[in-house]
Amino acid sequence: MNLIFYGCWADYEEDGWLIICEKKGQYYTQEGGHSVMDESEERLGFESITEKEALELMVEWAEHEDDDPTTIEEILKEHTS
């Protein structure tokens, strides 16, 4: 599976992230984050999406894109272990 996009956001109390991967022409997304209201870390499983949906998500998240390789490596390590 190839990572094609990673975006994240954070404010004072909460954060969220999105990854989009591709494998053999099929796209997948996974979202997660921390919510203060329910004091939990939520991670949703990989969901199959279309190429159009992947592009729409990338455009939507682009202003929040985090291109720090350390952060990306940490996310991938956590989800591939």
How far is 29 from 64, CA to CA, in rounded Å? Answer: 16
CB atoms within 10 A of CB 52: 9
Half-sphere exposure for 67 (CA within 13 Å, toward CB): 3
Q: What is the pLDDT of residue 56?
A: 86
Specify the pTM. 0.64
Per-residue pLDDT tens over the stretch 9-58: 777 777 788 889 999 999 999 888 777 776 655 666 788 999 999 988 88
Distances from the Cα of 68 to the Cαs of 30, 37, 54, 75, in angstroms?
Answer: 18, 28, 21, 11
